Amino acid sequence: MKRQILPILTNFILLLAAMTLSTLTAYADIRLPHLFSDHMMLQQQSACPIWGWASPGEKITIKGSWGAETITETDADGKWNARITTKKYGGPYTITITGNNTVVINDVLIGEVWLASGQSNMEIPLMGWQPQDTIFGAYQTIQNANNDNIRFANVKQQAAFEPKDNCDISWHPINPETATFCSAVAYFYATKINAETGIPVGIINASWGGCNAESWVDIEYLKALPEYKEKINEYMTSLPLQLNLHNWIKKHPVIKSEAPWPNEFSSMKFNDEECAKLSFDDSKWESMRLPCYYDNPENIGNYDGVVWFRKKITIPDEWQGKKLILSLGPIDDMDAAFVNGEKVGETMESGFWNLERKYTIQPGLIRAGEMLIAIRMLDNGNGGGIYGRADLLKIYPEGEENNPDNTVYLAGMWKYLPTCEYLDDVLYQYDHKKLEYYNRPKVDVTLSNKTLAANYYGMLNPLIPFKVAGVIWYQGETNIGRAEEYYKLLPILVQCWRDAFKNQGMKFYYAQIAPYDFGFASPAYEIREAQRRCMSVMNGVGMATLLDLGRKETMHPVHKKEVGERLARWALNDLYGKKCETSGPDFHSMVINKNTIELTFTHAESGLVAKGGRLSGFEISDSRGNFLPAEAEISGDKVIVKCAEIPKPKNVRYCWQNYIRTASLFNRAGLPASSFTTEKRISPKKQVFTE
């Protein structure tokens, strides 16, 4: 009898569970992507997509308080999609979504919505990244930022191997508090358009410093480029291995913080201070040469989280009883420094990845002989390391900074051990005593903001197919060295996005990278040329030239207002009826006249201008590709170039260098010409440089 009751009871329990689940499913609440939230903006005069989740087969009604209404029904998976028609710009309005429950989105504006994307020069906020990467005029701009007709939404950075359907994002009206964290370029872009047109402007910022262009393109589109065949094969092979790695990481204890940004890490208890003690055994730790970024195959590779570094040095007898200064240079991102087991300083707030660290060691910690320096470093994304110049890694008596004879330099081999991994906004802790990190599964292709399609799947896919007027893009530095590839890749990226958003006419305006001394082996001028030439192979695009905005100290120009407003010129001219010059002079054609070359330009109808009274930066070549500095002068709407030492010239280059101190060729709208070469190839096989 018991044998009969058990299966009957089991079946009853299963049936009851199924009925309960069915009942719960039938009354599941409407759920929206984070993109649809209070203070959001919708594109004006459009059929705007809106979507979410509810119970399968549920009827969903969407009403806009401006008079629009639409009805849809969820599919078998509980997903629903609809389009709501918007009127001419205005608001604020509400959107009411009704099914088995009701969701109301408040304070909705209708206006012009733009997607901002790229790498660090688009990501960098109005407050800048102190102390080096500042924004000119930022303080006054932030204080005056009080405009409810400009809305911002920052997409949280997340890389993914497969398309995500949601992301962490929220909308904010502009005020002095929220403006601080807005992309500086996008803020000035939005402000210019709003000021010129009176139309509310919304910006969705999905950018990530250090990313490459291919991380923003769907894998299916990358297959069109033979250059990516091998990488795509590696990518596909790595998918199950990556899943295994993630599962392994997530088995470990979690370290949590309740503190808000930028102090979320400073309040954490890592419980690993033993790693700072002299007595701790590091004999089985691996070694790494510092300074460096450790995210390369020779070191740790793509890894975010906590890494301990240890180094023992010898202290001179005469340093006893003196204050010492421990100089570590910049650290990406955060750190705590220990000497002989005692903490001497820390920088644990977010946003100080380029701040040079200097900590004071009190005399009580100083004794002649061996000293242990231990650093707990925490990287929460996009590279990581103690990465400054080698001469910044040192220890010296207070007041002796410039005395190399009384300095112990610390560059060289350090012991290291990763102890916490940062994944999906969570820190997972590895046992430092058992050296648990060294059991971490190996994966050839790890997930980062440089992985093929990773940013597209993680940050862009959750936004698709939201209705936007267009895109502003500032990226290219990470693709330096692959200019011919970039020339083919950027048009594919644009087409991928237009297909995804179902908008073949979607405008795409991009900033050409600014001059900076990336090093002789990194030909940034070739990426600038690839970006310039892309203008001729795409429709509905525009490029802002930044040749006059470069900085010798950093690749991040301080004049972000000029960048944003130059991008805005394209939109004002193309979309908003404000006819204006959109670009600086752009090389169009050349004619060789015996010993001179005559150059013509587009965007020069109002006339050419030599800034400072004379042209500079021009070179001319002979038939063998040897370039020499050349004389250049404006003649009407043309530039005439010649060099006495080259009687039979073949080609001309302008500002064909990484860093340009002064751009000289402008049009009367005050916009600079791009650097260029008249050679057919972007990356000529033979390069003879004069820099």
Mean pLDDT score, 399-406: 93
Residue 261 confidence (pLDDT):
66
Please tell me the least confidently modeled range out of 5-9, 33-37, 136-140.
5-9
Q: Kindly state the greatest CA–CA separation across the chain.
A: 111
Full-model pTM:
0.83
Percentage of the chain with pLDDT > 70? 94
- Give the count of beta carbons closer than 10 Å to the beta carbon of residue 19: 10
Q: Report H helices in 437-559.
A: 454-455, 483-500, 524-534
pLDDT in tens, 385-394: 999 999 999 9
* Cβ neighbours of residue 365 closer than 8 Å, sequence gap 6 or more: 339, 340, 342, 344
Q: How confident is the model at residue 353 (pLDDT cuts 50, 70, 90)?
A: confident
Residue 26 confidence (pLDDT):
42
In the DSSP assignment, the letter for residue 513 is P
Stated as kind and residue range, the H or E segment containing 79 is strand 79-85
Strand 79-85, strand 147-154: pairing: unpaired
Identify which of 657, 473, 674 has the alpha carbon closest to the alpha carbon of residue 585: 674
pLDDT in tens, 277-323: 999 999 999 999 999 988 777 788 878 899 999 999 999 989 988 99
CA–CA separation, 295 and 631 (whole Å):
45
CA–CA separation, 690 and 628 (whole Å):
7
689 versus 562: which is more confidently predicted? 562
In the DSSP assignment, the letter for residue 443 is -
- φ/ψ of residue 176, rounded to 5: -55, -30
Report helix, strand or coil for 43. strand
What is the CATH topology of the domain spanning 109-218+458-580? Rossmann fold (3.40.50)
Mean predicted lDDT score pLDDT of the chain? 91
Q: How confident is the model at residue 685 (pLDDT cuts 50, 70, 90)?
A: low
Residue 553 confidence (pLDDT):
84
Mean pLDDT score, 199-220: 97
Residue 309 confidence (pLDDT):
98
In the DSSP assignment, the letter for residue 362 is -
Residue 534 confidence (pLDDT):
98
Mean pLDDT score, 81-106: 97
Q: How confident is the model at residue 217 (pLDDT cuts 50, 70, 90)?
A: very high
Pick the most confident of 129-133, 183-187, 262-266.
Answer: 183-187
CA–CA separation, 559 and 75 (whole Å):
49
Q: How confident is the model at residue 14 (pLDDT cuts 50, 70, 90)?
A: very low
pLDDT of residue 47 exceeding 80: yes
Strand 90-98, strand 59-64: pairing: antiparallel
Mean pLDDT score, 228-249: 91
Can you give the C-alpha Rg of the chain in angstroms? 29
CA end-to-end span of the chain? 95
SS (H, E, C) 9-38: HHHHHHHHHHHHHHHHHHCCCCECCCCCCC
Q: Angle formed by the axes of helices 483-500 and 524-534, to 10°?
A: 40
Residue 262 confidence (pLDDT):
67
Residue 226 confidence (pLDDT):
95
Residue 195 confidence (pLDDT):
98
Please tell me the least confidently modeled range out of 58-62, 91-95, 319-323.
319-323
pLDDT in tens, 534-581: 999 999 999 999 999 999 888 999 999 999 999 999 999 999 999 999
Please tell me the least confidently modeled range out of 185-189, 362-366, 389-393.
362-366
Residue 13 confidence (pLDDT):
35
CA–CA separation, 311 and 410 (whole Å):
8
- Give the count of beta carbons closer than 10 Å to the beta carbon of residue 88: 10
Q: How confident is the model at residue 18 (pLDDT cuts 50, 70, 90)?
A: very low
C-alpha torsion angle, residues 343, 344, 348, 351 (rounded to 10): -160
- What is the domain partition of the chain in residue ranges? 109-218+458-580, 248-439, 586-677
pLDDT of residue 79 exceeding 90: yes
Residue 252 confidence (pLDDT):
96
pLDDT of residue 81 exceeding 90: yes
Tokens of 170: 């929220």
CA–CA separation, 330 and 340 (whole Å):
22
Mean pLDDT score, 225-232: 95
Mean pLDDT score, 117-144: 92
Paired strand residues for 49: 83
- φ/ψ of residue 680, rounded to 5: -70, -40
CA–CA separation, 57 and 75 (whole Å):
6
Residue 684 confidence (pLDDT):
82
Q: How confident is the model at residue 410 (pLDDT cuts 50, 70, 90)?
A: very high
Residue 691 confidence (pLDDT):
40
Please tell me the least confidently modeled range out of 99-113, 295-309, 480-494, 595-609.
295-309
In the DSSP assignment, the letter for residue 437 is G
Q: How confident is the model at residue 133 (pLDDT cuts 50, 70, 90)?
A: confident
Mean pLDDT score, 497-514: 97
- Give the count of beta carbons closer than 10 Å to the beta carbon of residue 219: 18
pLDDT of residue 183 exceeding 90: yes
Paired strand residues for 618: 654
What is the CATH topology of the domain spanning 248-439? Jelly Rolls (2.60.120)
Please tell me the least confidently modeled range out of 21-30, 542-551, 594-603.
21-30
pLDDT in tens, 456-502: 999 999 999 999 999 999 999 999 999 999 999 999 999 999 999 99
Please tell me the least confidently modeled range out of 245-249, 581-585, 651-655.
245-249
pLDDT of residue 505 exceeding 90: yes
CA–CA separation, 196 and 332 (whole Å):
40
Identify which of 494, 422, 420 has the alpha carbon closest to the alpha carbon of residue 460: 494
- Count, in order, helices (H) and strands (E) of the chain: 11, 36
Residue 10 confidence (pLDDT):
37
363 versus 444: which is more confidently predicted? 363
Cα 33 → chain centroid:
23
pLDDT in tens, 626-660: 999 999 999 988 999 999 999 999 999 999 999 99
